[in-house]
A and B are shown apart, each in its own frame.
Chain A
């Protein structure tokens, strides 16, 4: 085996859309392994944190295997991480979701639920649709979004969204029924999207590719 091949761990904590994420990674040529093995993750050159489902269940599963501290240590030491959907939310300090508590606390901020209504207008939750992402605070030129136009359509499915304490980390925002929320973040080695790039056609796949290129993973 060529030891120069960069290894990416897709973290498996029994709650995730792992299959489609792996397909996307394979498509752009990343060397990925779906794993919940601590040693494997500690040895990885980069991490992908997918996720579908409930915040507290996800955190409990991560804690059970000691994966939470492993992720924190890796990210604090500068290893790149890519969070997707619930995987983005887990990177924040805490969630308002029922029964939920602390997250990985790598980005200061909270996870909030969409309101049921605004000005008597009902909001359908979950937010399941293609929706646009637009620029906010950061230029996309040198990021994983470099092939995206402003207001590109991406695929969303979620009931909660992140609210960072410091808006400087917001890479894009999205408007759903009048609620403007943070749909992606980029801060140092942390990159995460609320939407599913792996389910967002070729522009979505370009995000995987450019994240891999930016972090020297190909």
Chain B
């Protein structure tokens, strides 16, 4: 057995691996970062655990139990009344791909609170058939929508580079998800944007969850030199990869001065309305024609979340490689916090499904970005932090520590 303090920890992760005593999350979970500042050298900040060994996400869930949701709804109605328009123009904007969350957001805003939302879609990198159908069903349940299809060649290049440089296949989607909506809002003169849950629900510092506003630093910039896409500077992308600035504009955030001029507020609806993923799913099924995927999502046990992008499964496989946290760990922790699973069940699910290789769509993704599957696996091995991974006596990679307690060094 090796002394764990001798083993290098990549990405600024904590050397000592610990698991929350209430859910199954580990202390290696990075908090939200600004996607367009992400480089190879970036150091992660990770989720805080308190002296009782409980993670911030569980503490947030406890706080949620004590919130007076009636008061919050009154706050919401006040906010909506301030922005409400009766001249037929859009008064708020809901970004979404047609998954359960955006479907719920748009539907309650329009049909419960009588707003007039414009929905906007930065489509998944590779829509699944189920995801595309859910998107159509969503709009058919009564919404206007603007979808943006970005330059496919640049999209492929950036997605490939983000895997090579950061082992982060989902980055191009996240960039659009955060940056696209404020631009459209500015063009249409809409001052109010709604996202769903605050990332703090899943482990940003607790204070982040005390406000309904999303921090502007996530979707605005002051200087082009500070921006990196796929870990590469804009200058380098233009000089070394022959990409024009005009082809990159769709991926970039809004300039801070444009944003301030447009006077846009970005709010989390999850601050105002109690957000339980399973309840949101049932709402979307009943109201927007949402359908779960008939098969279990690889790497986890669920069928209803993150099912519209073929690359999503691979994304969670890479979090398993980089942080030792696979999709089951994320999903089970959420379900435990919402009291739909016990920790014992969560541990059993992690043991059974976490880190399962997502081969259902893997070849489609590799073909799309033009990468050899073997090369992807070689890249993975480069991103395995020594403090998390070791090889067993048969030469197979194994986590040194897991929540089951049967890791290589447990």
> Which A residues are closer than 8 A to B by beta carbons?
17, 19-20, 52, 126, 128, 157
**Residues of A contacting B344 with CB < 8 Å?**
52, 126, 128, 157
Residue pair B339, A157 in contact (C-beta under 8 Å): no
The chain B residue sitting closest to A85, CB to CB, is: B342
Smallest Cβ distance from B241 to chain A, in angstroms?
50
> Which B residues are closer than 8 A to A by beta carbons?
339-340, 342, 344-345, 348
Query: Can you list 16 contacts pairing A with B, beta carbon distance less than 8 Å?
Result: A17-B339, A17-B342, A19-B339, A20-B339, A20-B340, A52-B342, A52-B344, A126-B344, A126-B348, A128-B344, A128-B345, A128-B348, A157-B342, A157-B344, A157-B345, A157-B348
Smallest Cβ distance from B335 to chain A, in angstroms?
11
Smallest Cβ distance from B54 to chain A, in angstroms?
15
**Residues of B contacting A20 with CB < 8 Å?**
339-340
Smallest Cβ distance from A53 to chain B, in angstroms?
8
- Cα distance, A20 to B342, chains bound together (Å): 11
**Residues of B contacting A52 with CB < 8 Å?**
342, 344
Tally inter-chain residue pairs, CB-CB below 8 A.
Answer: 16
**Residues of A contacting B339 with CB < 8 Å?**
17, 19-20
- Cα distance, A20 to B340, chains bound together (Å): 7
The chain A residue sitting closest to B339, CB to CB, is: A19
Known: A17-B342, A20-B339, A126-B348. 13 other contacts (CB 8 A): A17-B339, A19-B339, A20-B340, A52-B342, A52-B344, A126-B344, A128-B344, A128-B345, A128-B348, A157-B342, A157-B344, A157-B345, A157-B348
Smallest Cβ distance from A199 to chain B, in angstroms?
9
**Residues of B contacting A157 with CB < 8 Å?**
342, 344-345, 348
- Cα distance, A84 to B152, chains bound together (Å): 56
Smallest Cβ distance from A157 to chain B, in angstroms?
6
- Cα distance, A160 to B342, chains bound together (Å): 17
- Cα distance, A52 to B344, chains bound together (Å): 9
- Cα distance, A20 to B345, chains bound together (Å): 14
The chain A residue sitting closest to B348, CB to CB, is: A128
**Top 6 nearest A-B pairs by Cβ distance?**
A19-B339, A128-B348, A52-B342, A157-B345, A17-B342, A128-B345
- Cα distance, A52 to B340, chains bound together (Å): 13
Smallest Cβ distance from A17 to chain B, in angstroms?
6
Smallest Cβ distance from A105 to chain B, in angstroms?
26
- Cα distance, A128 to B344, chains bound together (Å): 9
**Residues of B contacting A126 with CB < 8 Å?**
344, 348
**Residues of A contacting B340 with CB < 8 Å?**
20
Smallest Cβ distance from A90 to chain B, in angstroms?
17
The chain A residue sitting closest to B343, CB to CB, is: A52
Smallest Cβ distance from A103 to chain B, in angstroms?
20
Smallest Cβ distance from B295 to chain A, in angstroms?
18
Smallest Cβ distance from A54 to chain B, in angstroms?
11
- Cα distance, A181 to B339, chains bound together (Å): 28
- Cα distance, A20 to B336, chains bound together (Å): 12
**Residues of B contacting A19 with CB < 8 Å?**
339
Most buried by B among A20, A126, A128: A128
**Residues of A contacting B342 with CB < 8 Å?**
17, 52, 157
**Residues of A contacting B348 with CB < 8 Å?**
126, 128, 157
Smallest Cβ distance from A32 to chain B, in angstroms?
16
- Cα distance, A128 to B339, chains bound together (Å): 17
- Cα distance, A154 to B260, chains bound together (Å): 57
The chain B residue sitting closest to A128, CB to CB, is: B348
**Residues of B contacting A17 with CB < 8 Å?**
339, 342
- Cα distance, A20 to B339, chains bound together (Å): 8
- Cα distance, A75 to B340, chains bound together (Å): 30
Smallest Cβ distance from A116 to chain B, in angstroms?
15
- Cα distance, A128 to B349, chains bound together (Å): 10
- Cα distance, A126 to B344, chains bound together (Å): 9
Smallest Cβ distance from A65 to chain B, in angstroms?
22
The chain B residue sitting closest to A124, CB to CB, is: B348
Smallest Cβ distance from A45 to chain B, in angstroms?
26
Smallest Cβ distance from A114 to chain B, in angstroms?
14
- Cα distance, A126 to B345, chains bound together (Å): 9
- Cα distance, A193 to B339, chains bound together (Å): 21
The chain B residue sitting closest to A23, CB to CB, is: B339
Smallest Cβ distance from B224 to chain A, in angstroms?
50
- Cα distance, A54 to B345, chains bound together (Å): 15
Smallest Cβ distance from A179 to chain B, in angstroms?
18
- Cα distance, A52 to B343, chains bound together (Å): 10
- Cα distance, A52 to B348, chains bound together (Å): 15
Smallest Cβ distance from B296 to chain A, in angstroms?
15
The chain A residue sitting closest to B349, CB to CB, is: A128
- Cα distance, A118 to B348, chains bound together (Å): 22
- Cα distance, A17 to B342, chains bound together (Å): 7
The chain A residue sitting closest to B340, CB to CB, is: A20
Most buried by A among B339, B342, B344, B345: B342
The chain A residue sitting closest to B342, CB to CB, is: A52
Smallest Cβ distance from B210 to chain A, in angstroms?
25
Smallest Cβ distance from B186 to chain A, in angstroms?
43
- Cα distance, A157 to B344, chains bound together (Å): 8
Smallest Cβ distance from B175 to chain A, in angstroms?
37
- Cα distance, A17 to B344, chains bound together (Å): 12
**Residues of B contacting A128 with CB < 8 Å?**
344-345, 348
Smallest Cβ distance from A210 to chain B, in angstroms?
24
Smallest Cβ distance from B274 to chain A, in angstroms?
14
- Cα distance, A117 to B342, chains bound together (Å): 26
- Cα distance, A7 to B93, chains bound together (Å): 47
- Cα distance, A128 to B340, chains bound together (Å): 15
